[in-house]
Structure 1
Amino acid sequence: MIRVLLADDEAVVRAGVRAILDTDPGIEVVAEAGDGHEAIDLARRHRPDVVLLDVRMPRLDGLTALPELRRAVPDAAVAVLTTFDEDEFVARALGGGANGFLLKAADPRELIIGVRALADGAAYLSPRIAQRLVAELRGGGLSRHEGARARVTALTARERDVLALLGEGLSNQSIARRLTLSEGTVKAHVSAILQALDVENRTQAAILAHDAGLTR
């Protein structure tokens, strides 16, 4: 069962999102919060698998609450639940540790797909948000570091682990020892990383890892 914490100051939005998630028998909304402070408290209490976090909330907004939520429940995936005109917050939220973005007005199936992907350890960007993000990257609207952080959200959690060690200059053999994986598995992860990030070699991937803040 995927346990979800829903944080939004609008009761009608919470009710609508809950109704959508309730259609999936594998998802349970375990708590609802009306602001960032309440979201942090409820996250500590209920230990959800996924937190859906609104950007604009009273007392403590979602972007300010995000880093504290990451510390409070480090194993949970935190996704920003946003409206389309709030995509200017994408880079800031990704830098704060968000695992993805979901749109309130999206197709209900997209919300369920996103929650399931997040629970599985993958990052998830609503296709419309992803399109806007790609346009910003192509147009130079994001800084190099913000762009790098946005790009690595396409990776799974394990792939980000591999990328971080690759960015530190480790060989496949050393990465395998560090992560307790087979060398063949690491090689497969590296190939998937290069493809997902659209880079040609390990050097370019290492630079991207450094720009994204993954390396020590």
Structure 2
Amino acid sequence: MSKVSRAAIIADGDEYFRLAMHSILRDQLGFSKVVQATSLDEAVKHLSEEPNISMAVLERTIPGLKSPACLTALRQRFPALRLAIISTSDKRQDILAALEAGVHGFVLKTISPADLTAALKLIMDEIIYIPSSVTAIPSPSDEQEALNETSAGKHQVIRLPTRQREVLGLLMHGKSNKEIARALKLSEGTIKIHIAALFRAFGARSRAAVAAAGSQLLLN
């Protein structure tokens, strides 16, 4: 997509933050137009009137954004839109609820401008982004051949077999089991086995949690 045709929207009640995001989206990420809004209704109005908006950054507590169901409705109405939530909350339940609703990233307001820019770039590149604090990786076990601890000792890194990495990548792009099976030329039953292994490896209870944990592999 050319720069001329790329537009984004930032919806936040803080005027200073909107101005900062406007600068990042234009100067760092190359959007030719950045629309500002202060509520969900205003954002939806702009999205309806501006067909070239390909990315939306919404603050989690803007007026009108009453629950994750609002995010689900927004994704259904604008399926091609890359949607990021930005928030001061780092609560795991808030992050996973947003991911379950279909957003493509959850970015903390407290991170540096450089990290914020990098997070939005990942979201633009069709990768699900979440804060590293949400990922709780269990210790290695015989059943989890993918888990290894880094020599640095500060983080743990999951090293998945090639096929599981392929499945994870497609899952992170929102593909269903049937779509993953078709893409990899495998049976749905085999895909279910690989996904079950990913659930165990990440200690996750939902596909959103697996996708959230998987995004950290790209940041380590």
Partner of 1:53: 58
Residue 82 of structure 1 is matched in structure 2 by 87
**Aligned equivalents of 2:72 and 2:108: distance in 1?**
21
Preserved CA contact (<8 Å) 1:55 1:82: yes
Counterparts of 1:88 and 1:109, CA distance in 2: 26
How many pairs were matched up? 166
Please state if 1:165 is matched with 2:160. no
Runs of 4 or more off by more than 6 Å in structure 1?
none
Q: Distance in 2 between matches of 1:157 and 1:109?
A: 27
**C-alpha distance 3-114 of structure 1, shift in aligned 2 (>3 A):** farther
Q: Aligned pair in 2 of structure 1 residues 157, 14: CA closer, same or farther (>3 Å)?
A: farther
The residue that corresponds to 1:39 in the other structure is: 43
- Residue 194 of structure 2 is aligned to residue 205 of structure 1: yes
Q: Is the 8 A contact 1:6 1:33 kept in 2?
A: yes
Q: Secondary structure at the match of 2:36?
A: strand
Deviation at 1:211, TM superposition (A): 4.9
* Correspondence for 1:118: 123
SS of alignment partner, residue 6 of structure 1? strand
Deviation at 1:113, TM superposition (A): 2.1
CA contact (8 A) 2:127 2:172 kept: no
Contact 2:177-2:192 at 8 Å conserved across structures = no
The answer for unaligned runs of 5 or more in structure 1 is: 139-153, 177-185, 191-200
CA distance in 2, matches of 1:86, 1:9: 21
Q: Is the 8 A contact 2:56 2:83 kept in 1?
A: yes
What is the Cα deviation at residue 105 of structure 1?
2.4
Give how far 1:85 is off.
Answer: 4.0
The TM-score, its normalising length taken from structure 2, stands at: 0.62
Which protein has the bigger helix share? 1
Residue 91 (str. 1) matches residue 96 (str. 2): yes
- Following TM superposition, by how much is the alpha carbon of 1:25 offset from its aligned partner in structure 2, in angstroms? 6.1
Shift of 1:87: 4.4
In the aligned structure 1, how far is the partner of 2:195 from the partner of 2:90? 33
For the structure 1 residues 205 and 38, does the alpha-carbon distance in structure 2 shift closer, same or farther, using more than 3 Å as the test? farther
CA distance in 1, matches of 2:170, 2:192: 20
Q: What CA deviation, in whole Å up to 9, does each residue of 1:119-143 have, x standing for no partner?
A: 2222122xxx22x2113x75xxxxx
* TM-score in terms of structure 1 length: 0.63
Residue equivalent to 2:150? none
Q: What is aligned with 1:20?
A: 24
- Equivalent position to 2:169, from 148, 152, 155: 155
Shift of 1:64: 4.5
Flag structure 2 segments of 5+ consecutive residues without an equivalent.
Answer: 139-167, 200-204, 209-220
Report the equivalent of 1:63. 68
**1:101 Cα deviation after fit:** 1.2
Q: How far apart, in 2, do the equivalents of 1:62 and 1:5 lie?
A: 20
